[in-house]
Structure 1
Amino acid sequence: MEYEGQICRSPMERAAFSLPVTVGCCYNKCYFCNLFKHLQYRELPLDQVEAELRRVSEMGAAPKTVFLGDGSAFNLSSERLLEILALIRRYFPSRPAVNMDATVPSVLSKTQDSLRALSENGVRRLHIGIETGLDDVLALMNKCHSKPQACEAVERLHEAGIIYDAHIMTGVAGKGRGVENAAALAEFFNRTRPGRITNFSMFIHKETPLYGLVQNGKFTPADELENLEEERALIERLEITAAYDGLHDFVPFRLQGKLPSDRAKMLEKLDTAIAAQKKKPPVVALV
């Protein structure tokens, strides 16, 4: 299948078979994001999805994980998702785990019986853009949920037996609020227990609405030193068992590990990076 747009998925899904079932993002209004601005969201026809499954099956593939794309496949109706899950089982009888991106509203829109049925038919993990632990920052970034709504969605996923993985962005709260955001995120994660946390440390592209907020003085970006310090404050406060992957585009640094076993090594690596960054001119992730 020719993949329309750019492939967008968590680095923790790099070994999965990517199966497009939608194009673009059903929300597509977050002020920091330009990944899907050029695409019109739509659902792909079921026969097109089945054709791709047949093609890969006939190649002899037996994936352990299938990742449903694009930006928020869980927005599909429960009925359509169950049809896709049935096709996956038909072409891959080994019953691979099925993961995808989701929004908080896409979880809350489904009944508890539907969530349980999706879990029983193969949905294993949902990647959710939590981004920040601060409600005023969620509003500023024009996210599609509030913190209480995110708590409710995650609680319902746990009850249904679906694991949630969280995406966050150090720097999203702006200059001077890194540690505050880290504390709020730690409180949220200690309560909601994600399986994995992926930190796409913020960079601001000129094509995003957030760039306009910077230009008119309504948002002041944190520099990369503060982003590293925020990441350290978060790791220090987390009291959960989870995998962590932190990616930074504007400084040559990546933090990976498992909590709590790798905490000491992760903090040591952060301390080294912070000390090195303090010796350099300030770097702001602004394109």
Structure 2
Amino acid sequence: MEYEGQICRSPMERGSFSLPVTVGCCYNRCYFCDLFKHLRYRELPLEQVEAELRRVSGMGADPKTVFLGDGSAFNLSSERLTRILAMIHKYFPSCRSVNMDATVPSILSKTPDELRALSENGVRRLYLGIETGLDDVLTLMNKCHTQKQAYEAAEALQRAGITYDAHMMTGVAGRGRGTENAGALAEFYNKTRPGRITNFSLFIHKETPLYDMVRRGEFSPADELENLEEERALIERLEVPAAYDGIHDFVPFRLRGDLPSEKESMLRKLDAAITAQRKKPQVFAVA
């Protein structure tokens, strides 16, 4: 398989077949992200997409789940997505689920009829970056949507029968605002009911605009202790049934479980991690 750039997908898609249909991210202006800065966004030719499907099918593969890459494949027009879905079902007759990353604007750009048609043709899950529940933080991070628009997108997907999974980042609101952000996120998730929540705790890379904001004193990062405390505040407030996966780069801790059935055990693990971290020097996920 030819894949330009690095493969970026949710850990929930580790068993899926990755099919590139675009290169890069259609937005690519979030201040915290460096994943696609070196790439020029473009749609791959349908002939190239079909050639890859034909190659894999010819090897005897028939995956049940396909993940469309790259960073925001749902930005493709409904017509183009429908053509790709038809090809997937032609070469992979056992496929029952086609998933991909999406942006809020890419959802809102499609009509209710288009969303329903995509659902009927196999689109099952969209991964949405709902990193924060605070509008001022969305603005600070130069996200491409408001909280109101995020609610509208989640509602549109629900009506179409498409599940959305949320990507979030503890620490994104900055020092001293972890509990506030946890409360706002819990409120959003409890109302919109994502199927899964993945926490990629904020890592500030030196090649991002956010790193420059830290250097200029325009953003004060939370340390990893506060990130763990924010994660605990979120889990404690969540009422929605969802799978949760929390990943931290700078502390040796990962939290996974099903809500609400495993909430108490998850809170105990967080309490232990927080107690241990309080005994250590401050650690900031900045490099």
TM-score strictly above 0.5: yes
1:167-215, Cα deviation, whole Å (9 max, x unpaired): 0000000000000000000000000000000000001001000001101
Equivalent runs, 1:56-75 vs 2, <5 Å? 56-75=56-75
Q: Aligned runs of 1:74-153 on 2, under 5 Å?
A: 74-153=74-153
Structure 1 residue 2: Cα displacement: 1.3
Counterpart-to-counterpart distance in 1, 2:95 and 2:10: 21
- The reply on whether 1:189 has 2:180 as its aligned counterpart is no
Residue equivalent to 1:243: 243
Task: Read off the aligned partner of 1:70 and give its amino acid letter.
Answer: D
Question: 1:167 aligned to 2:167?
Answer: yes
**Cα deviation digits, residues 123-150 of structure 1 (max 9, x gap):** 0000000100000000000000000000
Q: Distance in 2 between matches of 1:219 and 1:34?
A: 17
Letter of the aligned partner of 1:16 in structure 2?
A: S
Find the residue that maps to 1:203 and give its secondary structure: coil
- Gaps in structure 2 of 5+ consecutive residues: none
Task: Name 2:269's counterpart in structure 1.
Answer: 269
1:219-258 aligned at under 5 Å gives the runs 219-258=219-258
User: How many residues matched?
Assistant: 287
Alignment pair present for 1:212 and 2:204: no
Shift of 1:110: 0.4
Q: CA deviation at 1:12?
A: 0.4
Distance in 2 between the 1:280 and 1:173 partners?
Answer: 23
Q: SS of the counterpart of 1:144? A: coil
* CA distance in structure 2 between the partners assigned to 1:24 and 1:203 by the alignment: 20
1:270 CA drift (Å): 0.3
Pairwise CA RMSD: 0.5
Q: Report the secondary structure of 1:185's partner residue.
A: helix
Give me the whole-angstrom Cα distance separating, in 2, the residues matched to 1:38 and 1:275: 40
Q: Distance in 2 between matches of 1:92 and 1:282?
A: 50
In the alignment, the residues of structure 2 paired with residue 218 and residue 77 of structure 1 have an alpha-carbon distance, to the nearest angstrom, of 37
Q: Which residue does the alignment assign to 1:200?
A: 200
2: CA distance, partners of 1:63 / 1:271: 40
What is the aligned partner in structure 1 of residue 13 from structure 2? 13
Using the aligned pairs only, state the percent identity: 79
Residue in structure 1 matched with residue 283 of structure 2 by the alignment: 283
Matches of 1:96 and 1:116 in 2, distance apart?
16
Report the 3-state secondary structure (helix = DSSP H, G, I; strand = E; otherwise coil) of the residue aligned with 2:130.
strand
CA positional deviation for 1:94: 1.6
Runs of 4+ in 1 over 4 A off after TM superposition: none
Which runs of 5 or more residues in structure 1 are unaligned? none
Q: For 1:94 and 1:141, locate their aligned partners in 2 and report how far apart those are by CA, in whole Å.
A: 40
Distance 1:156 1:147 in 2: 14
